[in-house]
Amino acid sequence: MDNKIKMQAKNVDFFYGKTQALKKVSLDVYSHKVTAMIGPSGCGKSTFIRLFNRMNELVPHTTLCGEIFLDDLEINNPLVDAVDIRRRVGMVFQKPNPFPKSIFENISYGLKVNGIKNKAFIEHKVEDSLKKAVIWDEVKNRLNDSALKLSGGQQQRLCIARCLAVETEVILFDEPCASLDPISTAKIEELILELKKEYSIVIVTHNMQQAARVSDCTGFFLLGELVEFGKTQDIFTAPKDKRTEAYITGRFG
Amino acid sequence: MKKDFSQSLGFFGLFLCMAVTLLALGSIIYFITVRGFSVLSWDFLTKVPYSAMTKGGIAPVIVGTFYITFGSIIFALPLGLACAIYLCEYSPKSVVVNIIRISINNLAGVPSVVFGLFGLAVFVKFFGFGVSILSGSLTLGILALPMIISSAQEALLAVPQSIREASLSLGATKWETIKNIVLPTALPGILTGVILSIGRVAGETAPILFTAAAFYTRGYPKSIFSEVMALPYHIYALMTEGAHPDKQRAIAYGCSLVLLLLVLFISGLAIILRQRQRSSHG
Tell me, yes or no, if A162 comes closer than 8 A to chain B by beta carbon: yes
Least trusted range by pLDDT, from A100-104, A111-115, B47-51, B199-203: B47-51
DSSP state of A4: P
**At A250, is the pLDDT very low, low, confident or very high (cuts 50, 70, 90)?**
confident
Contact assignment for A113 to B176 by CB distance below 8 Å:
yes
Q: Which of A214, A212, A208, A92 is nearest to A157 (CA)?
A: A92
Contact A150, A103 (CB under 8 A): yes
CA distance A209 to chain B (A): 27
Q: Using CA atoms, how far apart are residues B206 and A106, in angstroms rounded to an integer?
A: 48
Q: Are B208 and A95 in contact (CB under 8 A)?
A: no
All residues of chain B having their beta carbon less than 8 Å from the beta carbon of residue A91 are 165, 169
- Average pLDDT score, chain A: 91
Angle, CA of B167, B172 and B176, to the nearest 5°: 95
Give the phi and the psi of residue A110 in degrees, each rounded to 5: -60, -35
DSSP of B196-252: HHHHHHHH--HHHHTTTB-S--SSS--STTS-B--HHHHHHHHHHSSS-HHHHHHHH
* Distance from C-alpha of B149 to C-alpha of B154, rounded to nearest angstrom: 9
Q: How many other C-beta atoms lie within 10 A of the C-beta of residue A179?
A: 15
Q: What value does the mean pLDDT take over residues A228-242?
A: 92
In angstroms, rounded to a whole number, what is the distance separating the alpha carbons of residues B230 and B237? 10
3-state secondary structure labels for all residues of A134-145: CCHHHHCCCCCC
pLDDT of res. A2? 52
Tell me the backbone φ, ψ of residue A172, rounded to 5 degrees.
-100, 125
The residues, ordered by sequence, that sit 6+ positions from A168 with a Cβ below 8 Å of its Cβ are A87, A88, A89, A90, A199
3-state helix, strand, coil in chain B (%, to 5): 75, 0, 20
State the maximum Cα–Cα separation within chain B, in Å, rounded to a whole number.
Answer: 73
Closest CA to B182 of B80, B86, B98: B86
Dihedral sign for Cα A172, A178, A184, A190, please.
positive
- The DSSP string of B17-52 is HHHHHHHHHHHHHHHHHHHHGGG--HHHHHSPEETT
Percent of chain A with pLDDT over 70: 98
CB within 8 A of A8, min separation 6: which ones? Answer: A26, A27, A28, A29, A68, A69
pLDDT at A180: 84
**Chain B positions in Cβ-Cβ contact with residue A95 (cut-off 8 Å):** 162
Q: Which residue of B has its CA nearest to A93?
A: B166
Residue A230 DSSP class: E
Q: Which stretches of chain B drop beneath a pLDDT of 50?
A: 282
- C-alpha angle A76/A79/A80, rounded to 5°? 55
* Structure ipTM: 0.90
Q: Please list every residue in chain A whose beta carbon sits closer than 8 Å to the beta carbon of residue B176.
A: 113
Question: Which CA distances in Å does B80 have to A29, B31, B87, B151, B193?
Answer: 47, 36, 10, 10, 10
Q: Which residues, in sequence order, are CB contacts of A231 under 8 Å at separation 6+?
A: A1, A216, A217, A218
- Per-residue model confidence (pLDDT) at position A35: 95
CB A90 within 8 Å of CB A52: no
Q: At residue A160, does pLDDT exceed 90?
A: yes
Distance from CA of B128 to the nearest CA of A (A): 46
Confidence of residue A200 (pLDDT cuts 50, 70, 90): very high
A148 vs B: CB within 8 A: yes
The pTM (predicted TM-score) of the whole model is: 0.82
Q: How far is A220 from chain B (nearest CA, A)?
A: 25
Residue of higher predicted confidence among B43 and A165: A165
Mutate to test the interface with B, among A83, A158, A162, A163 (most CBs of B within 10 A): A83
Cα distance between residue B154 and residue B147, in whole Å: 11
CA angle B63, B68, B72 (to 5 degrees): 145
- The closest alpha carbon to A243, from A233, A234, A226, belongs to A226
Sheet holding A170-174, edge to edge: A89-92, A170-174, A200-204, A34-38, A217-222, A225-231
CB pair distance less than 8 Å for A93 and B162: yes
Give contacts of B170 with chain A, Cβ < 8 Å.
Answer: 86-87, 90, 109-110, 113-114, 162-163, 166
Question: A147: which DSSP letter?
Answer: G
For residue A151, give the amino acid letter: S
Nearest CA in chain A to B279: A146
Return the closest-CA partner of residue A67 out of A83, A50, A51: A51
Q: Is A83 on the interface with B (CB under 8 A)?
A: yes
Beta strands A19-30 and A200-204, pairing class: unpaired
Cβ atoms A122, A82 nearer than 8 A: no
Distance of residue A101 Cα from the nearest chain B Cα, in angstroms: 6
- The more confident residue out of A241 and B57 is A241
Closest chain B CA to residue A162: B170
